[in-house]
Amino acid sequence: MKPRPPVMRQKRRYILARIVPPGSCPDQKQAYLSVLDAATALWGDAVVGLAQPAVVFCDEQYLIVRCRRGSEDAIATALATVTAVGDRAVALRTMAVSGTIHALKRRMRQIRPVSEPEECVIGERYFTMYRYPRQKVDLVEKSIKTQKLLFLTETDLEER
Amino acid sequence: MHATDASVCPYPAGNSSAGRMAIEASELGFDSIVVIDGEPACSDTLCILRGMVIRASSVKDLLKQAQRAGPEIDLIFVDAGDLAFNRAAVTARGVSVLRSIYRSPKNAFDHVAARAAAERGVAVDINLYPIVHYRGAGRQKVLHRYADLLLLHRRYGFGLTISSNARSILDQRSVRETERLCALFGMTHEEVAAALATVGTLLRPARPVRVIA
């Protein structure tokens, strides 16, 4: 099939969002469903139907959402209302909007943990500890039922 | 203080420490936060203020609790109640901000309370937590209440503060996201900027000129 000429194609915009905490969106489809659910709850079927949001890229730390040009503000607002992907609590922080995925990928700066994950015990609970730059420490509880998260700093850990 | 998150609830109420929330807030574009009932913390990156929330069932109880606030408390917040309570709360000594308006009955904050709040320099808080977390009819009701509040603010000129009421760093939103969420009920960019700077005004209220010596 012959593709449409460029002037007849839909103009699109791409939104880059950072995933907090890193590694909370293991599945692109789950991320898409969460974004779609949040957008539909906020703007309704009519607006979201025209905006056509889709998650076109998803890794441990970043997510790119595609939408129609002109609807990027509505979708960015909807991203601010995403509170969970699947059963994991997340926040999606909108970082940039662009006309190409290539431009957004240049803005992705991977934040690496400063050391290997460690284990620690607080009270009677066991946690896996991830240390990040700027003295950030994320603790993920080792549990079968629920994974409790704690967000602390190095100073907080020293005090405990 | 150009951009203040007017209330965050750190550990033990939430799962993030005050220090971590301060780091996150500075990355999100804020220059100060108000910590509610949390452990005292200090930060190099931004100003951490301490706030206290009064949940009173009667005006008498409210006044008693407001008197008990120590000097370490920068701002006193009062949870809104019915119409009579709110009218009394905005005129009570020491009260800085009336919050949780979205939970109070319809018309609980009317034009009389709005005028009193403007005269006494008391602000009303816009909590973003229900906009982010609620769905359906609950969120629609909150948006309607905030739109009504905005109408009164434009008419009578009382201060507005904006808070994430975050219990976790995952609930905190950036200044730009705050603008987008506030645009849902009709707040303009300038109004959001003014509301984010209101906490600074509450701490240093405009007073008549005094001759010192």
Mean pLDDT over A116-134 rounds to 87
| Closest listed residue to residue B157, CA positions, set B207, B107, B120 | B120
Amino acid at the residue A48: V
- Contact (CB, 8 A) for A99 and A14: yes
Contact B28 A93 (CB under 8 A): yes
Q: State chain B's maximal CA–CA distance in angstroms.
A: 61
Provide the residue ranges of all domains of chain B, joining segments of one domain with +.
4-203
Provide the residue ranges of all domains of chain A, joining segments of one domain with +.
10-106, 118-159
Residue among B15, B171, B181 minimizing CB distance to A149: B15
What span, in angstroms and rounded, lies between the C-alpha atoms of B177 and B187?
13
Residue among A83, A93, A148 minimizing CB distance to B133: A83
| B133 and A CB contact within 8 Å | yes
Contact B136 A41 (CB under 8 A): yes
Write out pLDDT tens, residues B157-185: 999 999 999 999 999 999 999 999 999 99
3-state secondary structure chain B: CCCEEEEECCCCCCCECHHHHHHHHHHCCCCEEEEECCCCCCCCCCEEEEEEEECCCCHHHHHHHHHHCCCCCCEEEEECCCHHHHHHHCCCCCCCEEECHHHCCCCCCCHHHHHHHHHHCCEEEEECHHHHHCCCHHHHHHHHHHHHHHHHHHHHCCCEEEECCECCHHHCCCHHHHHHHHHCCCCCHHHHHHHHCHHHHHHCCCCCCCCCC
Structure tokens at B41: 């913390």
Structure tokens at B177: 């996201």
Mean pLDDT over B53-70 rounds to 91
Distance of residue B1 Cα from the nearest chain A Cα, in angstroms: 23
What span, in angstroms and rounded, lies between the C-alpha atoms of A93 and B163?
17
Residue among B132, B168, B174 minimizing CB distance to A81: B132
Could you tell me which residues come within 8 angstroms of residue B91 by beta carbon, excluding any fewer than 6 positions away? B116, B120
- Higher-confidence position of A143 and B140: B140
Chain B segment 138-157 residues within 8 A of A by beta carbon are: 139
Write out pLDDT tens, residues B71-128: 889 999 999 999 999 999 999 998 999 999 999 998 899 999 999 999 999 999 999 9
Q: Could you say which of 3.30.530.20, 3.40.50.1000, 3.30.70.3250, 3.30.70.3270 is the CATH number of the domain covering A10-106?
A: 3.30.70.3250
Superfamily grouping for domain B4-203: Metal-dependent hydrolases (3.20.20.140)
Mean pLDDT over A1-14 rounds to 91
Contact A77 B19 (CB under 8 A): no
Q: In this predicted structure, what is the pLDDT of residue B40?
A: 67
What span, in angstroms and rounded, lies between the C-alpha atoms of B187 and B143?
11
In the structure, what pLDDT confidence band is assigned to residue B45 with cuts at 50, 70 and 90? confident
pLDDT at A104 over 70: yes
